[in-house]
Amino acid sequence: MKRVYLYKKFERFWHWSQAALIIFLALTGFEVHGSFNIFGFEKAVLFHRIASYMLLTLIVLAIFWHFTTGEWKQYIPTLNKLKEQIQYYTKGIFLNEKHPTKKTELSKLNPLQRLTYLGFKLFLVPLMVITGIIYLFYKTIDKNDIVIASSFELKTIAVMHTIGAFLLIAFLIVHVYMTTTGHTPTTNIQAMVTGYEDLETDEEESDKKETV
């Protein structure tokens, strides 16, 4: 095993801030929806709006960071060992089989994670952002006779936003579970806190070093 500085400071800040904002938005959003009462309707609406602006700012910063650092390449999808990865998560992990892929500094995500996170970034996040903005400014947009506002009823936008919220919660639950599939149940969480993670070294490389 080799201890590697895998997650940069901004990456960790972005990860935890995004998680906290999504949870808070879900909490206030479902209160606005009438599911329960914690803050009160008016405060829930205000808090939801403030948190949404904070998340939009974070998304912009994250996009800038990913493209300026080249980290966007981590999400390039691949079919290489995808089948093996699915089999590992559905069966192999319970039989204590060896992980089919190795995590490195240049490849932090396995094939299944790449597809999942890419879908999160290109489908789920845009769905929530677009429907949220239209819902938030619907009356203003409607007064200006923007085509997109007149093409969709407010109820339709609300339903789409709510469906996206449920998908986000499902993603969060699965994501939390997947963090427990490391070398130990807390390995991945610790790595996202400290930035360091113990990675498996190439056996051939280790043999060469020992020979030298």
- Asked if 151 contacts 145 with a C-beta cutoff of 8 angstroms, the reply is no
**φ and ψ at 80, to 5 degrees?**
-65, 120
Q: Which stretches within 125-202 are classed as H helix? A: 125-136, 138-143, 147-151, 154-178, 187-194
Overall size of the chain counted in residues: 212
pTM for the full predicted model: 0.85
pLDDT 10s digits, 190-207: 999 999 998 877 644 444
* pLDDT band for position 161 (cuts 50, 70, 90): very high
- Asked if 99 contacts 85 with a C-beta cutoff of 8 angstroms, the reply is no
Instruction: Provide CB contacts within 8 A for 116, sequence distance 6+.
Output: 171
What average pLDDT does range 9-27 have in this prediction? 96
Average pLDDT of every residue of the chain: 88
Domain boundary assignment for the chain: 2-211
For residue 148, what pLDDT is reported? 56
For residue 136, what pLDDT is reported? 82
Question: What whole-number distance in Å separates Cα of residue 93 and Cα of residue 97?
Answer: 6
pLDDT 10s digits, 65-115: 999 999 999 999 999 999 999 999 999 998 889 889 988 888 999 999 999
Rg of the chain over all Cα atoms, to the nearest angstrom: 21
Instruction: Decide if pLDDT at 145 tops 50.
Output: yes
For residue 212, what pLDDT is reported? 38
CATH of domain 2-211: 1.20.950.20
For residue 137, what pLDDT is reported? 79
pLDDT 10s digits, 113-140: 999 999 999 999 999 999 998 888 776 6
Residue reference for tokens 């963090």: 179
For residue 38, the SS3 value is coil
Q: Find residue 198's DSSP bridge partners.
A: 3
- Asked if 142 contacts 150 with a C-beta cutoff of 8 angstroms, the reply is yes
**φ and ψ at 167, to 5 degrees?**
-65, -40
**φ and ψ at 202, to 5 degrees?**
-70, 125
